[in-house]
Amino acid sequence: MRASPRLKGGFLFAVVALFFAAGSLVPTPPESLLAGAERLAFDAQMRMLRTCWPRPVDADIVLIGIDADTETAFPEPIALWHRRFAGVLHALAKAAPRAVGIDVVPPERSFDWVMPGSDLAMMRGLLDLKRVAPLVSVQTVNARGEPVAVQANFRAILAPENLGIDQQLKDPDGVSRRYDEHELSQSRQPVPTLAGQLLRHLRMPVDDGFIDYSRGEPIAYVPMHAVAQMDEAQLARTFRGRIVLLGHVTRSMDRWPLPVKQLMANDPEAGRGSLAYTQPGVLVHLQVLRNHFTGGLLHALPKWLELALAAAAALAVLVRARPATLWAIAFVVPVGLLAASLLSIVSARILLPVATLTACFWMALVARGVFDAAEAVVERVRLRQSFEGQVSPAVLSDMLAGTLSPGVSGQLAEVCVLFSDVRDFTTLSEKMPPAVVTTVLQRYFDRMVHAVHRFDGTVDKFIGDGMMVLFGAPRKSADPCGDAVQCALAMMSELDVLNEEFAREGLPTLVIGIGINYGTVTVGNIGSSERHNYSAIGDAVNVAARVEGLTKDLGRKIIITDSVVGRIGGRFHFDPLGSHAVKGHSPVSVWGIRTARVAPVAVQAEAVQ
C-alpha cells in the first residue's frame, strides 16, 4: 500500500466513506451527527443572511397579535371572546384584505348558555369577512393526529377548504426548519395546513422544502384590541389588499423554537440567550407564506448529487502538502463552501450541504494526515533499523530529522579528529584463521564504538583495523577537544578489559595508537552524486592521521597536537613530546597524556582521608 499511490488513495477513500456512513446513518439519519451539523449550518446561514444580506418583502403580510394588552382589554376568558373576534372580523371585512388566516382554534363547543347570542355574533363576523376575502382558520388535532371537528354551529361557514391544521414539522431538536404537507401525513395525501390552504385560495402552488427565515424584515404586529377601534381609513391603509394573519404573541401561548431571533420587531415577550429564539408559532405560517410570495422555499440538492459532491470532497485524501498549506486549505475550502451556499440561497433558492461537504473534506485531510504520520513513523523505524549499524547515531538523527542536506554537499566546521589503529594487526591476522580475525576485530570495534558514542563522537569510517572519529560534527559540541581526549582514555580502558578477555581465551592481545588533532574541516556528504557518505576532509584530518602514525615511533599510546592541548591543557596531565615532522605538512608540536587531573574537591577529600 505504501508503494502504490492508487492503493493508498483507495484505502483512505474507503476509510472516509466508512466514517461518512457512520456519521450520516447512526443512530438514525435524522439524528445522526451529520444531520445535526447540517441543522447548525442551516441556522448559521439564516442568521448571517438576516444580518448581512437583509431582503425585505414587498407588500408584506400584516400580523394581528393577541398580546397581554389585548387580554387586559378583553377581560373575559378567551373561550368567551366570540363577540371580540366578531368585531375584528367585521372591521377586516370593511378593509377588504387579500386573504385572512386565523391562527386561533375555533371554539370546540358552544357557550351560548353562558353568553346568549355569542355563537351567532361570531358566525356573522365569519360570514361578513368570508364574502370579501378568502378565509382560513386553523384546526387542532387529537392525540392520534386526527383533525378535531369544528362545532356544529360553525361547520356551514368553516368548510373543509376553510380549515388547515395547526401543525408544523419539527426536527429532532424541536426546531421548525422545513415545510412539507406530505410529510405531516400518515399517508401519501398531503395534510392541508393554514399556509397551504391560504395559498390554494389564492390559486398558488404549494411548495415544500426548507423555510427561508432570512426573507423579510422583522414584522411589527397590530394588537388585536386596536383593530376594532380603527376607523375605515385606518383599516384600509393597514389591511386593504394585504395577506392578514391573526395569532397569539404572548409567552404562554403557542411558542416555538426557531432558527433565528427577532422575526417580530415588537415582540413584548422577547427573551434572552436561547429563549430569544423561542417565538410565536404564527410566525412559522407567516414565513412560509413570505417564501411562497418571493420565489418559493429552499430546496436541498438531490441525494445522488449530494453523495457525488461528498465523494469529490473525500478525494482530498489524495492531497499532499506542507502542514501550513493543509491548514490553509482546511480553512479556505469550508469558507468557500459557505459563501457558495449563501449565494445559491439568494440567487437560486438552493441549499448546499455545507456541513456534510466540510465534514467529508476534513475527514479526508485527517485520514491522510494520520496515514502520512504513521507512514513517517514507519519510515523512521525502517531507516533506523537499516542504517543504525552503518552510520553514527548523530548522523542518523540528522537523517531522520531531515537536517542533513541531501546529495553531495559540505560546510566548514571546527572539529576534533581522532584516528586509532591496531599496531601490527596485519602480522597478527596472518597467524589466525579468517573467522577468528573477524571475531577479534568485531569485538574490538564493539568496545571502541561504545566508548565513542559515550562522548557524542561520530564514527566517520572504519579503515581496515583503524577508525576515524569526529567530535563536533554533525552535532555541535561545547567541548569537542575534551570529549575527544576523554574518549581516547575510555578506549584505552575498554581495550584493557578486552585484552584480559582475549588472554583468558587464548587470543592475542591488541595494542592501539590514537592521534588527536583540532582544526577547521569541510563536513557533509562527500563523494559522487551517485555514491557518497557523511565524512570530513581537510588538513586537520590529514594531520590527525599522521599524528597517530607517530605513536609507534615515540612509544606513546595517545598523541595530541598543540591545537588540542591549548584548549584543554588544564584538565589533563600532558607530557611535551616536542615538534615532529609529518608527511606532507610542516612540523607539528605534539603531546602525550598520562591521565586526567584530579578535581580540586577530590584532592581535598583524599587529604582528609
* pLDDT reported for residue 381: 66
The strand pairing partners of 561, in sequence order, are 590
Q: Give the three-class secondary structure for 325.
A: helix
* pLDDT reported for residue 401: 53
Is the pLDDT reported for residue 387 higher than 50? no
* pLDDT reported for residue 214: 94
Least confident of 90-99, 217-226, 323-332: 323-332
For 473, the grid coordinates are 560534527
d(CA 542, CA 89): 112
> For residue range 403-440, what is the model confidence (pLDDT) as tens digits?
555 444 568 889 999 999 998 887 777 888 888 888 89
Report the run of H or E that residue 435 belongs to, with start and end: helix 434-454
* pLDDT reported for residue 531: 56
* pLDDT reported for residue 593: 87
* pLDDT reported for residue 113: 82
For 549, the grid coordinates are 602514525
Least confident of 16-30, 33-47, 101-115, 589-603: 589-603
Domains of the chain: 1-51+299-387 (no CATH), 56-293 (no CATH), 405-608 (3.30.70.1230)
Averaged pLDDT for residues 382-396: 52
Closest CA to 546 of 599, 583, 510: 583
* pLDDT reported for residue 419: 95
Pairing of strands 458-463, 512-527: unpaired
For 254, the grid coordinates are 403557542
> For residue range 242-285, what is the model confidence (pLDDT) as tens digits?
999 999 998 878 888 999 988 988 777 777 777 788 899 999 99
Question: What HEC string does 156-169 produce?
Answer: CCCCHHHEEECCCC
> Rounded to a whole number, what is the distance in angstroms from the first to the last CA of the chain?
69
Is the pLDDT reported for residue 200 higher than 50? yes
Instruction: Write the DSSP symbol of residue 464.
Output: T
What is the pLDDT confidence band of residue 389, given thresholds at 50, 70 and 90? very low
* pLDDT reported for residue 106: 86
Averaged pLDDT for residues 209-224: 94
The strand pairing partners of 580, in sequence order, are 588
Cα-Cα-Cα-Cα dihedral sign, residues 266, 267, 272, 274: negative
Q: Report yes or no: 96 and 241 within 8 Å, Cβ to Cβ.
A: yes
Amino acid identity, position 554: L
What is the pLDDT confidence band of residue 395, given thresholds at 50, 70 and 90? low
For 430, the grid coordinates are 596472518
Burial 109-125 (b: 16+ CB within 10 A, else e): eebeeeeeebbebbbeb
Question: What HEC string does 16-41 produce?
Answer: HHHHHHHHHHCCCHHHCHHHHHHHHH
Burial (CB < 10 A; 0-12, 13-18, 19+), residue 564, is buried
Averaged pLDDT for residues 289-303: 95
Closest CA to 519 of 556, 488, 489, 560: 560
- Cell 388585536 found at: 224
* pLDDT reported for residue 185: 78
Cα-Cα-Cα-Cα dihedral sign, residues 283, 137, 204, 243: negative
Q: Report yes or no: 474 and 404 within 8 Å, Cβ to Cβ.
A: yes
Q: Report yes or no: 309 and 357 within 8 Å, Cβ to Cβ.
A: yes
Please, what is the average pLDDT of the chain? 87
- What is the residue-wise DSSP string for 75-130? -S-GGG-HHHHHHHHHHHHHH--SEEEEESPPPSS--TTTSTTHHHHHHHHHHHHH
The strand pairing partners of 62, in sequence order, are 244
Pairing of strands 585-596, 558-561: antiparallel
Pick the residue with more confidence: 373 or 73?
73
* pLDDT reported for residue 6: 81
* pLDDT reported for residue 604: 40
Averaged pLDDT for residues 132-136: 96
Helices (H), 388-422: 393-401
* pLDDT reported for residue 532: 55
Instruction: Give CA angle at 515 (588, 440), nearest 5°.
Output: 155
d(CA 340, CA 285): 28
Residue 488 φ/ψ, nearest 5 degrees = -60, -45
Q: Report yes or no: 184 and 147 within 8 Å, Cβ to Cβ.
A: no
